[in-house]
């Protein structure tokens, strides 16, 4: 097996390191010292720099002004971003843009994706449902509506795309012309909670279900009538939003009904979050090694004490397991390769290691730093808050172990 990255992927890493090299983790106020959100906006300077270096269009095709790379490259860049606690919606915007390119309407993709790659618009996604515990697609309903005034192509179906029978359009790219050929648009009702960066996003991807129980993904402009946002604050002090949709109308082309679209996007979001956990954990362990190598007790660096060395070694093993499972999941998503289990199995394993691993790394770091780790003038407490937010985003490892067990039961290994 070849575990090396391609030249293009390695070039993306080098570009990301150059961009993130002057980003300080304390560019925004500390969440420990701030009531409410640490800032009203994202790090715009960093966002524009990512656009200037073409990192926002990493997974977009050259037709849309992108580099045409795969989700592995995106995860490599996310890993670098987490090391400096980059306050940008890199994961959410790139993931939604990639899903639109892969499954969505071509005309909408042609309108939005070049602008997304240039950093001119931001996309985000509601992936937590109404409570954070139930499937996100069940939190919002989508029902078709008829409106002859919106039938622009004169074929009676309002989508301008083809047969609209929900069976795909025969182009072989995974796109689907819609689950209801008679619908010229859709009405959305429901709530998505803890949507990241929603207040600054231009478009919000909303998973939903039809009356027939089919999963769909709607792309909704934030300013569309019927969309209201209520402020929420994450564990690491960043702004989230409860997004409420009340009779929100979306055009047929703004709803993606292709089979597997939401599952694929959800897997990419999860795998990207695992990449964030890995990058953050690696930076925290490096900080710990530096500190324990300089801190002396009884005339010796504490790093030379057996108990300290063993704890650090255990966390290094955690990080290597997080890395191996991350790249396995990213490879399955990127290539669509088969295996003894569906790709969801590899994603579940990556989530198990990332959720538990990032918590163990920051807890050990706090312990080995002693009281210095709680000093708000030192950045470790920020990494701890971000790690806790990542852990909460991924969910408990026990739940992923249960999901993996269900997959094993349904697909016995030969």
358 has pLDDT over 70: yes
Helices vs. strands in the chain: H and E counts, helices first: 10, 10
For residue 262, pLDDT over 70 is answered with yes
Work out the angle at residue 309's Cα, subtended by the Cα atoms of residues 308 and 311, and round it to the nearest 5 degrees: 65
CB 185 within 8 A of CB 145: yes
| Residue 136 pLDDT level (bands cut at 50, 70, 90) | very high
Question: Average of pLDDT values for 34-38?
Answer: 94
- 258 touches 175 (CB < 8 A): yes
Average pLDDT over residues 66-95: 98
Q: How confident is the model at residue 180 (pLDDT cuts 50, 70, 90)?
A: low
pLDDT of 202 reads 98
Q: Are strands 296-297 and 300-301 parallel, antiparallel or unpaired?
A: antiparallel
The residue ranking higher by pLDDT, 349 or 178, is 349
Instruction: Please state, as a whole number, how many other Cβ atoms lie within 10 Å of the Cβ of residue 9.
Output: 18
d(CA 386, CA 234): 9
pLDDT value for 178: 54
Residue % of the chain over a pLDDT of 90: 79
Average pLDDT over every residue of 329-343: 92
Which residue, among 381, 328, 388, has the nearest Cα to 358 in the 3D structure? Answer: 388
- 279, 200 contact by CB (below 8 A): no
Residue 413 to residues 188, 342, 405, 407, 408: CA-CA distances in angstroms? 41, 12, 12, 10, 7
Whole-number pLDDT of residue 398: 87
With a cut of 60, say whether residue 389 has pLDDT above it.
Answer: yes
Rounded CA-CA distance 126/196 in Å is 8
Among 49-53, 58-62, 132-136, 202-206, the minimum mean pLDDT is found in: 132-136
Q: What is the mean pLDDT of residues 242-265?
A: 97
Q: Above 50 in pLDDT, residue 167? A: no
99 closest CA partner among 203, 224, 195: 203
pLDDT at 297 (0 to 100): 86
What average pLDDT does this structure show over 360-369? 96
> Does the pLDDT at position 402 exceed 70?
yes
pTM for this structure? 0.91
The pLDDT of residue 161: 42
Per-residue confidence (pLDDT) for residue 18, from 0 to 100 = 98
Asked if residues 368 and 308 have their Cβ atoms less than 8 Å apart, the reply is yes
Q: How confident is the model at residue 360 (pLDDT cuts 50, 70, 90)?
A: very high
Residue range 1-13, pLDDT digits in tens: 567 899 999 999 9
The pLDDT of residue 132 is 83
191 or 131, higher pLDDT: 191
pLDDT (mean) for 296-312: 91
Residue 177 has pLDDT above 60, yes or no: no
Percentage of the chain beyond pLDDT 70 is 90
Q: Are 179 and 214 in contact (CB under 8 A)?
A: yes
- Angstrom CA distances, 212 to 143, 159, 180, 209, 357, stand at 10, 20, 10, 8, 40
Average pLDDT over residues 224-234: 97
Average of per-residue pLDDT values in the chain: 91
pLDDT at 48: 98
Query: 97-109, pLDDT tens digit by residue?
Result: 999 999 999 999 9
Over residues 144-153, the pLDDT tens digits come to 987 544 444 4
| Strand residue runs (E) in 197-252 | 203-210, 215-221, 227-233, 239-251
d(CA 83, CA 20): 9
């Amino acid at each position: 097996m070849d575990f090396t990255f391609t030249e293009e992927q390695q070039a993306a890493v080098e570009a990301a390191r150059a961009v993130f090299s002057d980003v300080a983790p304390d560019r925004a106020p500390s969440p420990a010292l701030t009531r409410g959100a640490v800032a009203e906006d994202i790090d715009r300077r960093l966002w524009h720099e990512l656009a200037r270096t073409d990192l926002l269009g990493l997974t977009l095709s050259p037709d849309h002004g992108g580099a045409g790379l795969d989700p592995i490259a995106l995860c490599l860049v996310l890993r670098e971003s987490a090391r400096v606690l980059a306050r940008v919606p890199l994961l959410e915007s790139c993931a939604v843009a990639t899903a639109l390119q892969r499954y969505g309407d071509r005309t909408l993709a042609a309108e939005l994706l070049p602008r997304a790659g240039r950093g001119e618009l931001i996309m985000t996604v509601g992936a937590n449902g109404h409570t954070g515990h139930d499937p996100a697609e069940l939190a919002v309903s989508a029902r078709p509506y008829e409106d002859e005034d919106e039938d622009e192509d004169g074929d009676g179906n309002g989508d301008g795309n083809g047969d609209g029978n929900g069976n795909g359009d025969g182009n072989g790219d995974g796109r689907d012309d819609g689950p209801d050929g008679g619908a010229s648009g859709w009405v959305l009702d429901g709530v998505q909670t803890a949507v990241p960066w929603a207040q600054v996003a231009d478009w919000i991807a909303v998973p939903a279900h039809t009356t027939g129980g089919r999963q769909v993904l709607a792309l909704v402009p934030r300013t569309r009538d019927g969309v209201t946002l209520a402020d929420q604050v994450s564990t690491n002090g960043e702004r989230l939003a409860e997004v409420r949709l009340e009779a929100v109308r979306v055009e047929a082309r703004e709803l993606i009904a292709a089979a597997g679209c939401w599952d694929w996007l959800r897997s990419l979001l999860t795998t990207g979050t695992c990449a964030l956990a890995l990058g953050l954990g690696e930076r925290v362990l490096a900080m710990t090694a530096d500190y324990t190598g300089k801190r002396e007790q009884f005339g010796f660096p504490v790093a030379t004490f057996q108990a300290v060395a063993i704890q650090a070694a255990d966390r290094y093993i955690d990080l290597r397991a997080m890395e191996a499972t991350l790249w396995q999941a990213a490879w399955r998503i990127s290539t669509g390769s088969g295996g003894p289990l569906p790709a969801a199995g590899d994603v579940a394993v990556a989530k198990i290691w990332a959720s538990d691993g990032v918590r163990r790394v920051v807890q050990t770091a706090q312990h080995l730093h002693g009281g210095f780790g709680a000093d708000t003038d030192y950045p470790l407490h920020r990494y701890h808050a971000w790690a806790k937010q990542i852990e909460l985003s991924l969910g408990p490892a026990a739940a992923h172990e249960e999901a993996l067990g269900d997959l094993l039961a349904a697909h016995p290994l030969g």
